[in-house]
A = this chain, B = another copy of it.
Amino acid sequence: MVNFIGVSDIQRLVHRIGTGAFIERLAREIEHDYRRWREFEKSARLASHSPVGVIELMPTTDGRLYSFKYVNGHPKNTAEGLLTVTAFGVLADVSTGYPLLLSELTVTTALRTAATSALAAQWLARDGSRVMALIGNGAQAEFQAIAFHRLLGIRELRLFDVDPHATAKLERNLRATPELADLKLTRTRSVAEACKGADIVTTATADKRNAVILTPPMIAPGMHLNAVGGDCPGKTELHADVLRMPGAKVVVEYEPQSRIEGEIQQMPPEFAVTELSDVVSGKASVRAAPGDITIFDSVGFALEDYSALRLLHTLLEEERGAHRTIDLVPELLDPKDLYGGTLGRGGARGRMRLTG
């Protein structure tokens, strides 16, 4: 039997330890895995594009565990009452090829994206960062707020979205989250106003185009930019001049993928970037001077889903049997007798170990 985590299970698992604590634990797992970056088999995601969206498969392995994520992106879905992005994934045992865990990853992707953002900021943002601008108050916003409150010590959020309903939704959700009781929320009327006085600027907008959310005049020396929303070809958030500002240093997850999908798709191939793995393993020191502008050009990489699936698998094991399983793979008394153990008379007589 294969372990199964549905939407109701992820709710239970996260509520058991709290959303902030879950994100913190996940950030440590992701950090651990980025530190052994060389052990992972890496490839750009396998994408299937249609006129209305994209479906992608994102596999990776470290030679012991294998994982993949299925994820779609359909901006027009919300008009039909559906999610823009849904995802699920599998963790498998490389030594047998058997799947170990099938899990929802819609909620989990939001958690791991925020965990990765906060992890990068812990290494890149200046010490004592307390104020964050949060541009784009949609599906990812609450997760970013919780992650930066917990892992960075952010105590004021300066909110902006072109859609005031999105900001209202975010405020409502954050006010209803007990662990954020000491978080000050400030509505602003423009991106520039949101950025004013911020130590960190997070952009998590959903527009599927080369948008210009941030321009150089909004950026002060010493800021850390956490650019989450630009994550596919033709979808960016930063004006190219921001990437060229004096003292600007860009960090990416997996350079070959980010050259295609990240903010740096706007830059020539020789534009210098640093990979996150070199940052979290201490090999690269990105913030050299207090006035440097650090930019985490995040697109999401398969390793982060691998880390999340492994953490979920561990959390299930800690529950000791309370979780659901599905009969995704036959369990045969004689593995050489697939027909007899399933469709043949043996199958009907219960020669299989499972009962379904």
Contact = CB atoms under 8 A, between A and B. Distances in A.
A336 interface: yes
A131 B110 CA distance: 59
Interface string A39-67: 00101001010101111010101010010
Contacts of A355: 8
Q: Which of A106, A166, A339 has the most chain B CB within a 10 Å cutoff? A: A339
A10 interface: yes
Contacts of A90: 70
A178 to B, nearest CB: 9
A307 interface: no
B68 A59 contact: no
A314 interface: no
B169 A81 contact: no
Interface residues of A, number: 87
Interface string A58-96: 010101001010101110011011111010101010111
B342 A10 contact: yes
Given A328-B104, A352-B7, A70 B68 contact: yes
Contact of A329 (B15, B88, B139): B88
A338 interface: yes
B98 A86 contact: yes
Nearest to A94: B50
Interface in A300-356: 326-332, 334-340, 342-348, 352, 354-356
A234 interface: no
A338 B110 contact: yes
A83 B338 contact: yes
Given A83-B330, A106-B330, A72 B92 contact: yes
A356 B9 CA distance: 8
B57 A340 contact: no
Contacts of A68: 57, 70
Contacts of A343: 11, 14-15, 19, 107
A153 interface: no
Given A68-B57, A106-B338, A342-B107, A74 B96 contact: yes
25 contacts: A6-B326, A6-B327, A6-B328, A7-B327, A7-B354, A19-B343, A48-B59, A50-B61, A50-B95, A55-B61, A72-B96, A72-B98, A78-B335, A80-B96, A82-B96, A83-B335, A86-B99, A86-B329, A88-B329, A102-B328, A139-B338, A142-B338, A166-B336, A173-B339, A173-B345
Rank and list the top 7 A-B pairs by shortest CB-CB distance, nearest first.
Answer: A8-B356, A72-B97, A142-B339, A6-B327, A139-B338, A7-B327, A176-B345
